[in-house]
Structure 1
Amino acid sequence: MDAVIFLGENKIEVRRVPDPVPGPDEVVIRVKASGMCGSDLHHLHSPLRADDAQVIEGHEPSGVVESVGTTVRPAEAQVGDRVMVHHYDGCRACRYCRSGWTQYCPNGRVVYGGLNGDGGHADFMKVPAHTLIKLPDSLSFKTGAAISCGTGTAFAAIKRIGLTATDTVAIFGQGPVGLSATLLAKAFGARVIAVDIDPARLEMAKSFGADFVVDPAEVDAVDAVRALSSTGEGADKSIECSANALVRQDAVRSIRQWGTACMVGVFGPLEISSDELIHLHKTIVGSLTFSKNLQEECASFVAERGLDIEALFTDEFRISDAERAYDLFDRREIGKGVFVFD
């Protein structure tokens, strides 16, 4: 099969590799869609990788079960099942693994698609059966790919802050995660303020249901969010998806006294004045991806409400186009891309 390998130092290779064969507790899925994620660029720009550290990229896969191992129970997976992958494995015995938060396993964590396990940018992907989550029949494989990372991450952040229909939420950064948060927050019934400096992204946010959009290149974002809040004191909640240190400050400053800000964008510093945090009784929380249970809950939520998650994707590619696709993605000449398969 053909597979996308990141060699480090911005080098990509589409390599011919053997088709995977499942072990006793594993399955092989025929990949139907595999999304491109902003975190892929960290792997792309990493130092040159040794041969034994090179893995197949892609941690947003969905597809159909092609074959199952000898000990996989029918309740776990059967040939023909439409599935997503919770792209982590661990010891399967610690409290994190047993609660579905496998990414926090302290006893040998595996991250499929970029860190230390082969991912979904290939015709087939081999994973432990317990990582599979059924994809509702009403959802496309591209929607499943989105839920497997960016949209699932947004859903987990919304649950983390306990968003309700009475809340006004400011969502900073309208990339794929932020746009997902905008769409989902509207489905939760909240009043949404979308913040970004890219006019095209703000237009997408409007189409996804944002009640207001704010361009910090034109106005002070904090003042604008406060002015748009019902009391003038700020939003009830905020979600920060850019990983920009100054934007993180704005996400905290723009919420009212007793408000909650959720940090989703990874990497970089977070520096907040004690006046904001302590004197105004604000709460700051972090949210990293999602548990297996939350991924399943997100898929059910999207299916039940008929949300158009597939609209997040602006470009489709074949595996043979991987080098060009990531070049365009890295230079921000496309939005969210996805590899599709026959």
Structure 2
Amino acid sequence: MCGSDLHVYRAGAVPSDRIPALCIAGHEPAGVVAFVGPGVSEDVAKIGDRVMVHHYSGCTRCDQCRSGWPQMCTGMEYRLYGTNENGAHAPFMRVPAATLVRLHDSLSFEAGAAIGCGTGTAWGGLERLGDVGGSTLVVFGQGPVGLSATMLASARGARVIAVDVAPERLQRAEQFGAVQVIDPAEVDPVEVIREATLGRGAPLVLETSGSSQAATSALACLAPWGRACFVGLGGKVEFAVQDVLKTQMSIMTSWSLSIVDLSRCADFIAQNRLPVDDLFSHRWRLEQAAEAYVEFDKQSAGKGVFVF
């Protein structure tokens, strides 16, 4: 279960141009290949393969699709599983063979599901920021994406400062490698970050919470020539050019990750034996979906997953 699933859930049964009626939710799939269509060679997919699914499909012909970014497809409206194409909250899911990425035997299906979107989104944001090794990185928000970023960036050699208003999430951030945690409800995060960086500010910031207030703090705590990447949905990033012109900062966004980086992210996690499974606080059976969504909608716990 991903926070983005809540957008569809909260919309209810009212279809829109983007969300058709009776579309099965779920865009973080991992499982076993049960059937293979005609013309699919065994080196691409065969029955019994453990796989993750890159949850987008496009025309397969444009430059974006060919480079592994079907969500950026220019040849057609891309298909997003769980939103405008049936998703993974069902016993079976039909996808093009080209969306499959083999899942390492050392990784659980839960880990594969997380890597497919939430943890993969964190990876994509870090890739946009560039080499984080040896640098201070501030991660705003310590939900599943933010915690994944803290874990991955720490493993990649960054000095991570984690920001969140929930004490239990900050505690988990420390477990995942954060060297310092900040509760913005208790202190001014910008002031604390500048103190922690000897007055310079942070060279790297990743905003995952979707909070406009966090976005403002993210820009305010940047060092000269700093880079900020925004992945959290729902917030606004606003600034007066005159106020920030001399900072030479770079602002960017990151939208999940390519299918190439999905594979690279899984490789990195397997090689470094990162505890992705520890992101999950709730495991549900598919028949508990109604109960699971009610609980997940509270957004008071960690990540949830359907297992069967």
Q: TM-score, normalised by structure 1?
A: 0.86
Q: Any residues of structure 2 matched to 1:214-233 within 5 Å, and which?
A: 214-229=182-197, 231-233=198-200
Residue 246 (structure 1) aligned with residue 213 (structure 2) = yes
Q: Does the 8 Å contact 1:206/1:213 carry over to 2?
A: yes
The answer (yes or no) to whether the contact 1:252–1:276 under 8 Å persists in 2 is: no
Partner of 1:96: 64
SS of the equivalent of 2:34 reads strand
Q: Distance in 1 between matches of 2:34 and 2:25?
A: 20
* Partners of 1:244 and 1:234 in 2: CA distance: 20
Look up the equivalent residue of 1:281 and give its one-letter code.
Answer: Q
State whether residues 53 and 116 of structure 1, in contact with CA within 8 Å, keep that contact through their aligned partners in structure 2. Answer: no
Once the two structures are superposed, what CA deviation does each residue of 1:56-102 show, in whole Å capped at 9, x if it has no partner?
Answer: 11001100111101111112101111100000011111111111110
1:83-162 correspondence to structure 2 within 5 Å: 83-106=51-74, 107-113=76-82, 115-162=83-130
- State the one-letter code of the partner of 1:269: K
Counterpart amino acid of residue 255 in structure 1: L
Shift of 1:245: 1.1
Structure 1 residue 272, shift from structure 2 partner: 1.8
Residue 332 of structure 1 deviates from its aligned partner by 2.3
Conserved 8 A contact 1:172-1:196: yes
Residue 267 of structure 1 aligns with which residue? 234
Which residue of 2 is the match for residue 295 of structure 1?
Answer: 262
* Cα separation, partners in 2 of 1:305 and 1:216, compared to 1, 3 Å: same
Counterpart of 1:74 in structure 2 is 42
1:110 maps to a residue whose letter is R
Structure 2 length as normaliser, TM-score? 0.96
CA deviation after TM superposition for structure 1 residue 276, in Å = 4.9
Give how far 1:329 is off: 1.2
Distance 1:135 1:48 in 2: 34
1:121-178 Cα shifts (integer Å, max 9, x gaps): 1111110000000111111111000000000000011111013322000000000000
Equivalent pair of 2:280/2:304 in contact (CA under 8 Å): yes
Question: What stretches of structure 1 move > 6 A for 4+ residues in a row?
Answer: none
Shift in CA distance, 196/117, structure 1 to aligned 2, threshold 3 Å? same
Partner of 1:29: none
Q: In 2 relative to 1, CA 225–275 (structure 1 residues): closer, same or farther, beyond 3 Å?
A: farther
| Equivalent position SS for 1:53 | coil
Pairing partner for 1:328 from 288, 295, 301: 295
Say if 2:126 and 2:132, in contact at 8 Å, map to a contact too. Answer: no
Q: CA deviation at 1:53?
A: 2.5
Where structure 1 has 5 or more consecutive residues not aligned to the other structure, the ranges are 1-35
Aligned equivalents of 1:277, 1:54: Cα separation in 2? 47
Distance 2:226 2:194 in 1: 12
- Percent of residue pairs bearing the same amino acid type: 48
Q: Answer with 285-294 or 162-171: which moved more.
A: 162-171
Tell me which amino acid in the other structure corresponds to 1:321. Q
Question: Structure 2: how far apart are the matches of 1:272 and 1:154?
Answer: 25
**For residue 28 of structure 1, what is the aligned residue in structure 2?**
none
Q: For 1:44, give the aligned amino acid.
A: Y
Question: Once the 2 structures are TM-superposed, how far is the Cα of residue 320 of structure 1 from its aligned partner?
Answer: 1.2
Secondary structure, in 3 states, of the residue corresponding to 1:127? Answer: coil
Alignment match of 2:27 (pick from 59, 70, 78)? 59
How many Å apart are 1:52 and its aligned residue?
Answer: 5.7
CA deviations 1:31-66 (Å, max 9, x no partner) are xxxxx1111111011153359632111001100111
What amino acid is aligned across from residue 336 of structure 1 in structure 2? K
Number of residue pairs the alignment of both structures matches = 304
1:177 aligns with 2:142: no
Whether 2:8 is the aligned partner of 1:40: answer no
Which consecutive residues of structure 2, in runs of 5 or more, have no partner in the other structure? none
Matches of 2:166 and 2:300 in 1, distance apart? 12
**CA separation in 1, counterparts of 2:57 and 2:35?**
19
Shift of residue 270 of structure 1?
1.5
Amino acid at match of 2:27: H
For the Cα contact (< 8 Å) 1:86–1:292, is it kept in 2?
A: yes
Whole-Å Cα distance in 2 between the matches of residues 329 and 249 of structure 1? 27
Which has the larger strand fraction? 1
Contact 1:276 / 1:282 at 8 angstroms: preserved in 2? no
Once residues 164 and 280 of structure 2 are traced to their aligned partners in structure 1, the CA distance between those partners, rounded to angstroms, is 18
C-alpha RMSD over aligned residues: 1.3
Larger mean Cα displacement after TM superposition, 261-270 or 44-53? 44-53
